[in-house]
Amino acid sequence: MKKLSYKGIVPSGTQQKINLSTIKGKIGYKIVKFQVINKQPNEQTVELQGMLYKTSQTGSITNVIDFSDSDLLGVTTYVNSSNSAYPQSDVIIFDNEVVNQDIFFVGIDQGGDNREVNYYIELEAMTLSDLEATMLTLKNIKAIQS
């Protein structure tokens, strides 16, 4: 199985579309790795959050993590502080769901300093049967319409 990686940077509170869809939708993708980090490694205190969604979050971008949201594919946080009580950490949580349509990355600076958010996403690509491709595409269309 082939692995693909995507990386980029977004201003806090914005999203970026990750183009995955194909004409027939016969390639599925599963998240293998998902990380965020700040742009300037020497900053004293940084609190960043990244989220991956199945649909565009335009008009509703928020820092609230809601695992009951069926559009949410994954969440990662990055905290780095010079205070020894808060050492560097990154927590990665992701769903093992397979997608065959575009996904959307949202980056947020939780510290309120409006920092840009670097992201790295690694996906495992797999060939889908006609039935699997149809089911995933219909599921995505339903999610967009609701």
What is the per-residue pLDDT across 60-116, written as a single tens digit (0 to 9) for each? 788 888 888 888 999 998 888 776 566 567 778 777 888 888 999 999 998 778 889
**pLDDT for position 143:** 66
What is the per-residue pLDDT across 43-52, written as a single tens digit (0 to 9) for each? 778 889 999 9
Q: If pLDDT is split at 50, 70 and 90, which confidence band does 11 have?
A: very high
Q: 108 Cβ partners below 8 Å, 6+ apart?
A: 12, 13, 48, 49, 50, 51, 61, 63, 117
d(CA 117, CA 108): 7
**pLDDT for position 107:** 94
pTM of this structure: 0.87
2-145: in CATH 2.60.120: yes
Enumerate the domain spans of the chain: 2-145
Q: Evaluate whether 38 touches 48 at the Cβ level (below 8 Å).
A: yes
